[in-house]
Amino acid sequence: MATTQNFLPELVGSMSQGAAGNPTVAVMEAAFTHHGLHWRYVNMEVAPADLGNAVRGAKAMGFRGFNCSLPHKVTVIPHLDGLGESAGIMGAVNCVVRRDDRLIGENTDGKGFLKSLAPVVDPRGKSVVLFGAGGASRAIAVELGLAGIKKIIIVNRSPARGAELVTLLRDKLQLDAELAVWTGDYAVPADIDIVINGTSIGLYDGDARLAVDTHTLRPGVAVADVIFSPPLTRFLRDARARGCTVLDGLGMLVNQGIVAVQLWTGITPDADVMCHALENALGL
């Protein structure tokens, strides 16, 4: 008897370098299995010099899309047929979606963050402090700008990288953005509603300390961290002790996966299924 398994699966995947152990495979495949979708998610090891051929190959083989991570997030753009709004603004793509015969670059990093923030606070009209100006911070800042925040302070160690992000936010989104060069413990201004760690401080180190004067975190402020392992960073523990509402990086990661599955398949996958798969894959 014919079953759907007799047909070729729809393919999506991840183009990256050094992708071994990428937990996204488990998360995506758990969603596909749970929803009875005959789709597969495969890791593809792609060297920078082969990226153009890899994208053309994926298109030729009918891939429905793919994620791309470092070092391909920017260099993939010339090989695509178009860009979504936020990906165009930030100049980085981490998710490619086939629409008809066109490959469109999107960025789900910031969209995943916004989705995890939504149950806690509506960013519209809010004032934000964001630590970091790298890829994750850039994606978060652009999506917050598109969501209508009132203002943002970028706190970054390297003045040049911080200034570059501030200029992008001012020029492309006409956002009230300012730079605070990070030296010593940062005091969060009293009018701030949302504080985010977008740096890599705390990744795989639950004791790593973010240089913040935690006494300036007001109770009730939403405090988020992009770090997903360990999920409860020292920064979040300190913020919670101050009475802040905390959001961990696992939520952002799962929500990015949800956004990607939505973009590729059109269905809204079960968040709990994907969250459990991620926790298992990370050994949490």
Based on the shown chain and the rule CB under 6 A, indicate whether residue 253 belongs to the binding site for ligand NDP. yes
Cβ proximity of 269 and 10 under 8 Å: no
Binding residue count for ligand NDP, defined by CB under 6 A = 23
What is the DSSP code (8-state) at residue 138? H
Find the catalytic residue in 73, 111, 115, 126: 73
126 is catalytic: no
Among residues 77, 203, 232, 273, the one that binds ligand NDP under rule CB under 6 A: 203
Is the preceding omega at residue 230 within 30 degrees of 0, hence cis?
A: yes
Q: Which of 65, 10, 3 is nearest to 37 (CA)?
A: 10
Shortest gap between Cβ of 140 and ligand NDP (angstroms)?
A: 9
Tokens encoding 222:
């939403």
**Residues numbered 162-191 forming contacts with ligand NDP, rule: CB under 6 A:** none
Residues 151 and 169: beta-carbon distance below 8 Å = no
How near is the Cβ of 102 to ligand NDP at its closest, in Å? 26
Question: 76 or 136, CB closer to ligand NDP?
Answer: 136
- Tell me the window of 57-65, 77-85, 151-159, 265-273 that interacts with ligand NDP (CB under 6 A): 151-159
Q: Where are the alpha helices (DSSP H) in 13-82?
A: 24-34, 51-60
Q: What is the rounded distance in angstroms from the CA atom of residue 198 to the CA atom of residue 179?
A: 15
In angstroms, what is the minimal distance from the CB of 192 to ligand NDP?
Answer: 19
Among 127, 200, 245, 262, binds ligand NDP (CB under 6 A): 200
β 10-16/39-45 pair status? parallel
| Contact pattern from residue 54 through residue 93 relative to ligand NDP, giving x for each residue in contact according to CB under 6 A and a dash for the rest | ----------------------------------------
User: 267: which 2 tokens?
Assistant: 């269905």
Q: Please, what sign has the CA dihedral across residues 90, 93, 94, 98?
A: positive
CB of 55 to ligand NDP, least distance (A): 21
Site string for ligand NDP, 209-248 (x = CB under 6 A): -----------------xxx--------------------
- The tally of CA atoms less than 13 A away on the side-chain side of residue 236 is 24
Smallest distance from ligand NDP to CB 236, Å: 13
Candidates 23-31, 34-42, 134-142, 184-192; binding stretch for ligand NDP (CB under 6 A): 134-142
| Residue with Cβ nearer ligand NDP (34 or 157) | 157
**156 lines the binding site for ligand NDP (CB under 6 A):** yes
- Asked if residue 262 binds ligand NDP (CB under 6 A), the reply is no
Q: What is the dihedral of CA 54, 60, 66, 69, to 10 degrees?
A: 10
161 touches ligand NDP by CB under 6 A:
yes
| Distance of alpha carbon 117 from alpha carbon 276, whole angstroms | 19
Concatenating the DSSP letter of every residue in 66-114 gives: EEE-TTSTTTTGGGSSEE-HHHHHHT--SEEEEETTEEEEE-HHHHHHH
Closest-by-Cβ residue to ligand NDP is 134
- The residues that touch ligand NDP, with contacts defined as CB under 6 A, are 109, 112, 132-137, 156-158, 161, 199-201, 203, 226-228, 249, 252-253, 256
For the annotated catalytic residues, the residue numbers are: 73
